[in-house]
Structure 1
């Protein structure tokens, strides 16, 4: 049965509206302050829980602030209140007065009971999910924080977030997620190692999940943001883990993570060395229909990488309200690549004209440096009032050389040889200032600015061996410089009541881009300023069901590779060339989401629409069997879709996560008098099952499917693949044995076909199966930490 777009969206809206059928009571606001009965000092992170009088099951809850204060709301009618904290007697409050829909508990005194330390009621400190205007907040309770697990394992308990056994983080099925620490980019959250392994669950206060970012965040598009908020001034002692990984294809590494936390300092470090191999198999067909000639190639090779990295950092808590962070990381990589491809030239009658072997040998070294300075100030006036300044810098270099040899097999092709040299340098700097000011209890004002600098230089030389002399090829040699700066200012204003809230935001970004092709003197300068408004609203129908709606304007700026007009000569019949005249694309993003939270199940349904202008598409031109791809701005795109994701834990030993996304798109545009108007759809699905087996075994199975879809000039094929992982805890959780298999059936193959009036082109690429076995030993507090075996 087939649905048109209108029927499909109507059905989705009926499903969504059908869920809004709950009879509601009036919301009650509960406030109070938790104090140590002996010292009269406030108790921070005490757990306040609302429990059902009949079943004693938790309904909702929160934690106290640094001043011991707390506020929460409930629509329940038959409930009582419990207040608990490690080392204190649990306080149950079953009689209270309601005045103008408010229960004011005033000062709640907790008394110490060291004997009861191991008997704290876990159900009263269960992790809770809270719905905010533009995000969902997962408060880490004692049920997780007392386990000593790592940040990756905590993320795995957050609705809509999935972390594979390898440590790959995805949000609503997409891996394009940005990780922030305390609201900012951080060396700890960078891709240079497994630094997140130095953060344990008891150090995390909460995790914020943002799927449609407001004007506070970069307008550059992402699949979403995960912000990990770390507790302050906690005495946690020494945590650490040592890891060893071996795999096939080669994936061998040794790593060490350490974290020392005291009253004033949090010291962290991570270091590792290793070697990895990435196999690559390709096929291509270039058929020139006008002269009935075909060029085919079949190639295979290995990319070998040896690496070493170290990270050092510290948080210094000047006092309860001021903290300074200083950290840095350095990595050094050595790359070797070997690739052989067999080429055949065939006439229309299947007559072999020429056959030759093209061999490549590439060597490269890559030094990487990343450093960070941050200052954060909290205020006595309000627990959510803060000022944050951060400066983040990074540099990357690549010194690469390659040799290409064409060796004839049959026909008239003669032996030729080329070499290339690449001197690539990149420097990035980000300066960020944010201020948050709550007022009138339910209002919050945010403002700040950001300045980002990107400087890139790519010096690329191609030489041909002619009569035993290396001669520079002026048609392929170039030096390309790319300089970009983005200055941003933003402001947001939010109202958030017990039931309903709204948040408005506006961001201004001013962009300066300058490119220079030094070999020809061709310069391109582009300056533009844009406003990026955002709007978010939410309505809470019950403690377990909310509606959220949002709008934001996004930008996708061209990157260096898209702008640099040089030719990669790895395959001289399939060339990619950048376009220095490329303009950014802009997207208006609308989203309506229902959020369902139940005891064992969380569900999210979303309807979304995206309107994009100046869409960047790769356009293929074809001449003499040579396919040249170059990005161009072509027309507009309208995309309307439906997304559903959920996490279900019916029993303690089984969790099922699933994501489904389908969208319908309409493309319009004209390029070089050719019309590129078409319609299509694509869908994808992911299902992950996690089993906690006897004898401390964990099993994870993940199935992924991505449908085929139409592009401007061709079709991307579908992909179906399965990942698998097994984990075993031994020595009381101090050691973890881990086996992961990516692409179990080696079925993940990228294929692209373009069939036009004058040419036919086909390209495919396959990586194959990856098997990795790892051992992690944890010392200090808690279990062994997770280790990511993924490529950095």
Structure 2
């Protein structure tokens, strides 16, 4: 680790060519001020040619000049000009420049510019949710569904062509996956979201992830010295319906910043799944449908206080209370080789689910000096509990619908409890030759899984020791990182980082009396290089190495039965997979963005539909089984030549090549996929806008699977009233009901399985939102440090 850190310093030192440079960071006392004007004037009051610039998104600026005496001026709309006399003889760092709000002229300023719906940054694609009509009135999961290149299928969130993506909220990772993650995102109102960052190659500061990348959901931030309240109601109609009420309150005055939000939903949604399994001597057709309750409630409270100009303390709490109870039925038809029905199974299922999560954060931020050195410390606690009671009976009938007997009947009581404690320290340390940042994190996770199964075929519950299980899993991670950024001359930017992670895992199955442990120490480098040739052309390259860890459920070795001939089991011997990622980009005037992306994954793991052809038993297993290479070329094009029509378009072409382990009796599905999306906003009047969105994903072959094509057409209408304080929206999602997973097929051990699902993607959503206050809200939301430990819970 010491040698790697030394290499970073030597590299940045070598590249830091000695030049006369004036640098600084502009803030408004709490937030960076982007796009502020910075320029020098000489002793005659004349602006010095080629010595001006603007601040970047972090408020940082760098301008070149010669030795001499100057006056520097920093200006931005709504703030008083900041001026200072300077004698420049060497490189000069002004540190943190704080602009003072111009209260006399602020009310006269009206800013009408609006960010694009999609923006391409050096290391991420940004989807500005607040500008998307299709996301109004929904939740975070709805916003992700309309984000470019993001797919939500079968409770899995991923980038096109990638593995499962990790989700962050305000820069902090969630330790939830699958259905639990979707339930959590359903509790966040999309109207509270400012933007979604799609990061294929995260910098060293972030926790390391694999080929799925990171999706960062960022809350809205407003203006200082103000308060604002927003209330809303949303009605969603699919086969069933549900209603959501929400309220958000923000207060930012003097030294206090307060945010409070509550959300609640009640109603139902329909879920459908189906599969066909082709055994040598028979075919199974399985169809299930359930009516799931959308009863969830959540609340978020945050408070931050400025002890002094340099020290801020704060804390926050986020809690969710979900009751996604479900009633469902399923039919399995057994078809013989002659194509006639032999028998069938009918499954009646009642599920009662209680899911609660609690996230606590406390933090301290200290500005150490005026040159930009800053340290922040986060203490986090995360607790998640999922208590499930499942009561089901599977009856067997003949082809003439004659009752033959009970195939299976049981009551399952399962409880999953996850606890996480973590502490994280981040240091920003600008030097004369490089902007340095470094830090570390300690994380301690414990998850307990308790499954009790009772056989109820006789009518009286009998405890079944063979189908009951207790499993405990512990994971401790210690991480250190260092990152250096350097601007060379006016057109080159370099950023390099290293992250060192030491992971210790322990798994124990009390039922099987089995212990498993795994310890590994890994280094993960990142590199970003960008070159601004001129105002029209920008080129960039980045590289990163990532890790993908299995979820807690994947590691549980116990076997749970769906019926007497079908079961699912985890695997405590799954090893993490590792991915190398490369991206080359070209940006032409911000309107045409070209990306070349390549990823190479080793020891890949996943879920397999395996089968015992001789005994006709269907199994769902998890294991490491492949290595793969993935290539994608993509284009993002923005059309805004007309004031009444803005169109942002994205398309990609990808190739995947997979090599399977020798002991897996299957063939890899290597192929290509074409993906296209277009987002169009039409201004129909001063207060009326129409949005039409469409995406299409062609048939795709990847890993073991062959997936059918999918597409989505969505239309949304927004109408504003009362000087934009009242907004109404009507959205028709997936009008043709074609956005759900269909015909996902795989073949293992000579048995082909075809799977599909529909989670009511076609629906109509109507919402009303009313806001009042002084319209100058500026609440800075801080993420939870334990969200690194919330993404793999199930």
Conservation of the 8 A alpha-carbon contact between 1:46 and 1:85? no
Structure 1 residues 229 and 749, CA gap change in structure 2 (3 angstroms): closer
CA distance in 2, matches of 1:545, 1:727: 36
Distance 1:432 1:35, change over 3 A: closer
Alignment pair present for 1:352 and 2:341: yes
* 2:786 corresponds to: none
Aligned equivalent of 2:764, options 771, 776, 783: 771
The residue that corresponds to 2:68 in the other structure is: none
**Shift in CA distance, 765/42, structure 1 to aligned 2, threshold 3 Å:** closer
Equivalent positions of 1:515-664 (< 5 A) are 515-570=507-562, 573-598=565-590, 601=591, 603-619=592-608, 620-623=610-613, 624-664=615-655
Of 137, 142, 153, the match for 2:130: 153
For residues 259 and 280 of structure 1, the distance between their equivalents in structure 2, rounded to whole angstroms, comes to: 36
Structure 1 segment 398-477 matched on structure 2, within 5 A = 398-410=386-398, 413-416=404-407, 417-440=409-432, 442-477=433-468
Q: Name the CA shift for 1:760/1:42 in 2 (closer, same or farther; >3 Å).
A: closer
Alpha-carbon contact 1:360-1:570 (below 8 Å) kept:
no
Q: CA deviation at 1:525?
A: 0.8
Structure 2 residue corresponding to 1:339, chosen from 328, 331, 337: 328
Paired position in structure 2 for 1:174: 150
Instruction: Tell me: CA distance 1:765–1:33, structure 2 relative to 1, closer, same or farther (3 Å).
Output: closer
Match of 1:194 in 2: 188
Number of aligned residue pairs: give it. Answer: 706
Task: Tell me how far 1:733 sits from its aligned partner.
Answer: 0.8
**3-state DSSP class of the match of 1:728?**
strand
Structure-2 separation of matches of 1:32 and 1:714: 52
The 8 Å contact of residues 62 and 72 in structure 1, kept in 2 or not, is answered as: no
Please say which of residues 622-631 and 336-345 is displaced more in the overlay. 622-631
- How much has 1:454 moved relative to structure 2? 2.3
Q: Is the 8 A contact 2:38 2:55 kept in 1?
A: no
C-alpha deviation, 1:91, in angstroms: 11
TM-score normalized by the length of structure 2: 0.78
Matched with 1:390 is 378
Deviations 1:245-287 (A, max 9, x none): 1221322121111011111111111112221423112222222
> Is the CA contact 2:454–2:462 (under 8 Å) kept in the aligned structure 1?
yes
Pick 1 or 2: higher relative contact order, CA cutoff 8 A, min separation 6: 2
| Aligned mates of 1:378, 1:583 — CA distance in 2 | 41
Q: Does 1:295 align with 2:284?
A: yes
Shift of 1:524: 1.0
Deviations 1:153-194 (A, max 9, x none): 27x69xxxx96773514765236576767755699x984743
Alignment map for 1:257-272 (pairs within 5 Å) = 257-272=248-263
Q: Does the CA-based 8 Å contact 2:130-2:191 persist in structure 1?
A: no
Verify the 8 A CA contact 1:461 1:478 in the aligned structure 2. yes
Per-residue CA deviations over 1:536-568 (Å, capped at 9, x if unaligned) read 211111234211111110000111122123344
Are the counterparts in 2 of residues 563 and 579 from structure 1 also a CA contact under 8 Å? yes
SS in 2 for 1:672: coil
Against the structure 1 CA distance between its residues 421 and 29, is the aligned structure 2 distance closer, same or farther, given a 3 Å change threshold?
Answer: same
Q: Secondary structure at the match of 1:460?
A: strand
Whole-Å Cα distance in 1 between the matches of residues 563 and 395 of structure 2? 14
Compared CA separation, residues 34 and 226, structure 1 to 2 (3 A): closer
Report the Cα distance in structure 2 between the residues aligned to 1:287 and 1:423, rounded to whole angstroms: 35
TM-score by length of 1: 0.78
The more displaced of 308-317 and 673-682 is: 673-682
The DSSP-based 3-state class of the residue aligned with 2:323 is: strand
Distance 1:110 1:475 in 2: 68
Distance 1:463 1:637 in 2: 43
| Greater CA drift, 167-176 or 344-353 | 167-176
Following TM superposition, by how much is the alpha carbon of 1:680 offset from its aligned partner in structure 2, in angstroms? 1.8
Unaligned runs of 5+ in 1: 1-26, 52-58, 75-80, 93-98, 139-150, 786-791
The 3 A distance-change label for structure 1 pair 30 and 544 is farther
Two-structure CA RMSD over aligned residues (Å): 4.5
The question of whether the paired residues in 2 share the 8 Å contact of 1:133 and 1:503 is answered with no
User: Residues 198 and 268 of structure 1 are in contact (CA less than 8 Å); yes or no, is this contact kept in structure 2?
Assistant: no
Secondary structure of the residue aligned to 2:206 is coil
- Unaligned runs of at least 5 residues, structure 2: 1-18, 40-51, 66-71, 152-157, 159-164, 176-180, 779-790
Q: Of the candidates 206, 210, 220, which is equivalent to residue 217 of structure 1?
A: 206
Cα separation, 1, equivalents of 2:327 and 2:352: 9
